[in-house]
Amino acid sequence: MGATSSALVMLFALFFIERLEFICSRTNSNVSCIASEREALMKFKGNLTNESNRLSSGVGKDCCTWKGVGCSKKIGHVVKLDLHNPIPDAYPNPEVNKLGGQISPSLLDLNHLHYLDLSMNDIQISNSLGSLKSLRYLDLSWSIFEATIPHNLGNLSRLQYLNLSNNDLSGPILDTLGRFTSLTVLDLSQNSFNDSMLYSLCNLSSLVHIDLSVNSHGGAIPHCLGNLASLSILRLSDTDLQSPIPSEMGNLTQLTMLDLSGNGFEGEIPNSMRNLCNLRVLDLSNNKFTGKLSTSVGSPFGCIHNSLEDLSLFSNKLSGRLPNHLGEFKNLERLIIGMNSFYGSYIQLEKGPSEEATLRSCYGFS
């Protein structure tokens, strides 16, 4: 549990520090904008359409006080641009808050930019993005108007947070993923990536959160994924993955959430997964897993019994008698086991230490 907390603390620290620095810089009237950076921002703004009140200048010429701009208190440089669309579903016209247009190369004059959030807009991304070498946080979710990704994005080797979700992307970013050695959070979900990229993540040991769900990666989970010792959240649902799960998944002891649903996984659920002592949510539904529960997650040994809160095995080819010791899952609140070939009348689930911690719903018993 302690180790999980530290992974989560790392994750939150990343956001919190960014935010804190932003607030400090915004409220400190002494930080004033560097002239060349003001010029760059003006050009950048000039190439955007519908900039709807973002980057609006406050009082005077100090660009550090502009909405969405953050400067470092220490060095005075612009370090943050947060231009996410605050009202993505504006009624009646959802387009009205979206930034449009192109990213101007003038952005490169912001040498110290480490935070860029352009999410929920309609922006044309250019290659200049790959030259913003100081970037640590990049959010382009729901934002890329033309579905291409700069080929040189891999040059952003300091990135800690990368979110490209919901862009209908397919393309060569995959070749360069392995260069993001500082990456903590990677979200490529809801795109059309069609090659197996998991292998290239194996050396990225800082990863805490991976979401590749809803793509067409295909292939298998590589054994080396078990190297990602800090991984807490792994979402791989609906990605056309196949083959058995490697037993090295049991090495990911910091996992709190594992979603492998909606794929073609087969074979037995590996015994080693009993060792996932921090796993709270396990979704293996809609796959082709076979074998008996008693030899896998349902085994009476291993600490997964203490942590699991939500378990779905719905729609697999699991069989055999439902093991009595299912009742030993102390914190299980939801269990979905329908569409399998289990037998056994019913399971007595033990009450947990408090009412909240007892099983709330249980589907699939025939």
Ligand X SMILES: *[C@@H]1O[C@H](CO)[C@@H](O)[C@H](O)[C@H]1NC(C)=O
Give me the residues that bind ligand X (CB under 6 A), please. Answer: 29-30, 46-47, 49-50, 95-96, 98, 100, 102, 104, 119, 122, 131, 141-142, 152, 155, 163, 165, 170, 178, 185, 187, 194-195, 199-200, 202-203, 209, 211, 226, 247-248, 250-251, 272
Q: Which of 85, 184, 67, 86 is nearest to 143 (CA)?
A: 85
Beta carbon nearer to ligand X, 101 or 326: 101
How far is 68 from 132, CA to CA, in rounded Å?
A: 18
How far is 353 from 152, CA to CA, in rounded Å?
A: 53
Beta carbon nearer to ligand X, 257 or 339: 257
What are the tokens at 176?
């360069």
In the bound complex, what is the minimum distance in angstroms from residue 327's beta carbon to ligand X?
27
Beta carbon nearer to ligand X, 227 or 358: 227
In the bound complex, what is the minimum distance in angstroms from residue 6's beta carbon to ligand X?
18
Cα dist from 285 to 200, 219, 222, 256, 264, whole Å:
26, 18, 20, 17, 10
Beta carbon nearer to ligand X, 56 or 324: 56
In the bound complex, what is the minimum distance in angstroms from residue 352's beta carbon to ligand X?
29
Beta carbon nearer to ligand X, 141 or 287: 141
In the bound complex, what is the minimum distance in angstroms from residue 329's beta carbon to ligand X?
22
How far is 337 from 285, CA to CA, in rounded Å?
A: 8
Beta carbon nearer to ligand X, 251 or 312: 251
Give the residue ranges of DSSP H helices in the chain: 2-27, 35-46, 173-176, 304-307
Beta carbon nearer to ligand X, 126 or 290: 126
Q: Which of 235, 327, 331 is nearest to 277 (CA)?
A: 331
Cα dist from 340 to 105, 208, 242, 363, 365, whole Å:
56, 32, 19, 12, 10
In the bound complex, what is the minimum distance in angstroms from residue 37's beta carbon to ligand X?
17
In the bound complex, what is the minimum distance in angstroms from residue 358's beta carbon to ligand X?
30
In the bound complex, what is the minimum distance in angstroms from residue 270's beta carbon to ligand X?
7
How far is 99 from 211, CA to CA, in rounded Å?
A: 26
Cα dist from 348 to 324, 327, 345, 351, 359, whole Å:
8, 6, 10, 9, 11
Q: Taking CB positions, which residue lies at the least distance from ligand X? A: 141
Exposed, middle or buried, 92 (CB in 10 Å: 0-12/13-18/19+)?
Answer: exposed
